[in-house]
Structure 1
């Protein structure tokens, strides 16, 4: 193990690099911090599979962007050679930290070397626990596996055969925003005028999703009704993440806004938008979400509940299950089983982790992260590049004040419910190994006590040779 002074210089250099990286990520915008595109350029083989609902054929050869400034730390660790022998026993470092009273009375842990798949430390690693938002690692992994990283979620407009009516059809994209909705209206108006129609009735179709729209926890500011058509996740304020007042009927609100935009574009909309089926004709216009890889990164970085539920339903649709909570649960479970992951005792009652009936094991979470680091599975890489960076981005931006050694070095998904606090992610050791870890705690006294304890656990891994 390096001398303390050498370790401090190493950690300091890494942290400085992450400061620069964070600036690059911010400049790049919310959907692509550069790491995903850079990793895809460096992947050993091109990604395959998935569905891309583009109106025109995709180009024969995908563009290969240069690695971004934020990518080298992740990429170097992924391609680092496996150590010659077993890593230093972590028990001496982790056992005292796991005994912290802030972690409550139920605690499980798993630490795995991603290069070898070897479990370096385990404490109740196969015991199912309530994961809170760390279940999003499973949700997004299943979506990437079932659909591929290039899949896009469409929203379409289709006219009746006689052109007297049109239907706005939701494909399950909660990221549809006013700008894209306006472009969709403009394109629709142009297509209607081309067909010599300037007055239409407007219907909207949300039938892609089945079952109840409300999450089992009921109406709340953490999640809009789960419907196939919405704008800005049904947010009624200017927020882009986190809790917010939500629309009671996001689909109707989106259709009403679309009607107003059509009117601005010179099309008369008669009557009031109402639910209705999509005509069996070719769509007049469409808009699409960002690629699934980008959606996954956003889901993990910001712990986006609405996107997580949407991705769970996209997985259900891909696996021919009903697009409801139960269908999504089965589809996610089955997809992870196809990846040969330990799903015994796991339950995915929802995609976001808000449901306390969810169950995962620490071993499942580290198994997912290890799969994502596998050079033969580049489609899963957004699971790693989307993880928040300790002290810098997303839900970890304000963390690691009591564990500064982990700031900039720990990348992890957080999980928080009353009495439940979890953390699962990766850390690069001083000798260049990428470790996957999962720490799940239940019956915790408060997040103010549990979160710093979890941060100290993950930071301890950053100093291990």
Structure 2
């Protein structure tokens, strides 16, 4: 499904402006109050600002402008559309700058923008009270009784203090579907750090054997650089490109006097089966540490799409062709092989920072990024980089952060495995961590959540009143498998207090009705006082 860009974004902003201006401003202020620094993300790749002074739907426009260019420039188009929409409403657009850029001169290095970014909205007064548990229970009683929800559990927390405001079987293990990605995101940001980048490299072995070593970068692309890109600074927020690696490798080979090579590709970074429980399908590629464009047959496709049966061989063949363009002859067909132990890199490219990967993963519910991040967590934890090993490593990391271990069972990083279980309270506590003052490294969890009615997997929800209010106000991760529908996110109550919520529906076989009921529950959270 194509995501709304251009005039459609402006149209939605105008349509929701009556409720959204007030609600989104509440959300930015609530996040700022709960976690100073959450309005702007302290990352070297960009200064993230949650909105524009006086703007309606600050969160929606700010998030579109900040989440980064991916999926064949889709985010670039949305960012331009957001600027156009803001201008139409008479607001100053959110500025997006390359890493290290400062007006009027060269940047002083990573993080210079974040350090100098001005506050956009003042925080709410610290004495704003959370709603009483009795009021939360009374407000949610009706929506939770909707039979479309099947077996349902629920948790609402005060994001600032972690105080439990409501629980309906909140510690009961439930199938989480893609809300599993909240755990994966939290673990990756905590262990790897927001600025960590995955490296894809080449090394030279004996007898002019060139080895392409996959590091597990899920956004490595075979696409050409954007028109007008002038250098590394312009590509700071772009995925790593196979063509750049080929160009750098060819230069290094020529400097050593080598123009003919045999090409091998090394997949030893991962262990275990490369297939999930349902095998290769449109939801997930064969999981190997070397692929381009997530193994998609059509690199410009979004969401679910056909994949190559052997994405590593496809990537290696493309790399061989690129080497030929740069004057290096590849003799024979590329084949699987191992890099010599301790071999120095001939050339390398680095992927997007962890924070960017997390944002993309959460906004679009990207399964390939989720599985790649889980394996990176496993590698950092000296565990088995596989489906099961990644899930187990993610569990260890999040429980080390104080998330309750009871009922938490993870067998992958994406949530496709139906054997995963997560209680609603665990999801809510993961979200509260993302806004906690003591964990600024987790901010990308909050900034990556889809915005109701505007971005990612919530772009077509909360429109037309079926799910109640909340467009531009609620930020939440969705989950969906057959019979499973879940929603977990952050929202301000009527007084601006930031709340974390999780609603989990299992045995709900009318997906449309269940999702509408979940949206109504989340909208009810915004009306609490």
TM-score, scaled to structure 2: 0.77
Secondary structure at the residue paired with 1:413?
strand
Q: 1:82 to 1:289 in 2, by over 3 A?
A: farther
Secondary structure at the residue paired with 2:406?
coil
The question of 1:357 aligning with 2:419 is answered yes
1:306 to 354, 360, 368: 368
Q: Cα deviation per residue 1:226-253 (whole Å; 9 max; x = unaligned)?
A: 1100000001124453110001000000
Question: 1:365-384 to 2 correspondence within 5 Å?
Answer: 365-384=427-446
What does residue 171 of structure 1 align with? 215
What does residue 64 of structure 1 align with? 113
User: For 1:9 and 1:23, how far apart are their aligned partners in 2?
Assistant: 15
The question of 1:418 aligning with 2:482 is answered yes
Q: State the shift of 1:160 in Å.
A: 1.6
What does residue 408 of structure 1 align with? 472
Residue pair 2:171, 2:425 contacting (<8 A) in 1 also: yes
The question of 1:343 aligning with 2:343 is answered no
Q: State the shift of 1:166 in Å.
A: 0.8
What does residue 147 of structure 2 align with? 101
Q: 1:24 to 1:122 in 2, by over 3 A?
A: closer
The question of 1:91 aligning with 2:133 is answered no
Q: 1:384 to 1:158 in 2, by over 3 A?
A: same
Q: State the shift of 1:90 in Å.
A: 0.8
Question: 1:149-298 to 2 correspondence within 5 Å?
Answer: 149-160=194-205, 164-178=208-222, 179=224, 180-279=241-340, 280-298=342-360
Residue pair 1:10, 1:430 contacting (<8 A) in 2 also: no
Q: State the shift of 1:18 in Å.
A: 5.5
User: For 2:59 and 2:520, how far apart are their aligned partners in 1?
Assistant: 23
Q: State the shift of 1:218 in Å.
A: 1.7
User: Where does structure 2 lack aligned partners over 5 or more consecutive residues?
Assistant: 1-16, 26-54, 80-92, 101-107, 225-240
Residue pair 1:130, 1:359 contacting (<8 A) in 2 also: yes
Secondary structure at the residue paired with 2:334?
strand
User: For 1:109 and 1:379, how far apart are their aligned partners in 2?
Assistant: 27
User: For 2:486 and 2:331, how far apart are their aligned partners in 1?
Assistant: 52
Computed over aligned residues only, the root mean square deviation of the Cα atoms, in angstroms, reads 2.7
The question of 1:444 aligning with 2:505 is answered no
Secondary structure at the residue paired with 1:289?
strand
Secondary structure at the residue paired with 2:261?
strand
User: For 1:332 and 1:24, how far apart are their aligned partners in 2?
Assistant: 29
Q: State the shift of 1:67 in Å.
A: 8.5
Residue pair 1:203, 1:273 contacting (<8 A) in 2 also: yes
Count matched residues: 435
Secondary structure at the residue paired with 2:264?
strand
Secondary structure at the residue paired with 1:297?
helix
Q: 1:366 to 1:21 in 2, by over 3 A?
A: closer
Residue pair 2:476, 2:490 contacting (<8 A) in 1 also: yes
User: For 2:505 and 2:331, how far apart are their aligned partners in 1?
Assistant: 56
What does residue 435 of structure 1 align with? 499
Secondary structure at the residue paired with 2:333?
strand
What does residue 328 of structure 1 align with? 390
Secondary structure at the residue paired with 1:406?
coil
Q: State the shift of 1:198 in Å.
A: 0.5
Secondary structure at the residue paired with 1:300?
helix
What does residue 451 of structure 2 align with? 389
Q: Which runs of 4+ in 1 moved over 6 A?
A: 32-35, 66-69
Residue pair 2:217, 2:351 contacting (<8 A) in 1 also: yes
Residue pair 1:19, 1:392 contacting (<8 A) in 2 also: no
Residue pair 1:18, 1:408 contacting (<8 A) in 2 also: no
Q: Cα deviation per residue 1:37-57 (whole Å; 9 max; x = unaligned)?
A: 99xx9xxxxxxxxxxxxxxxx
What does residue 148 of structure 1 align with? 193
What does residue 5 of structure 1 align with? none
Residue pair 2:209, 2:263 contacting (<8 A) in 1 also: yes
Q: Cα deviation per residue 1:189-241 (whole Å; 9 max; x = unaligned)?
A: 00100101010110000111001111111221000001100000001124453
User: For 1:307 and 1:377, how far apart are their aligned partners in 2?
Assistant: 22
TM-score, scaled to structure 1: 0.87
Comparing 407-416 and 83-92, the one that deviates more: 83-92
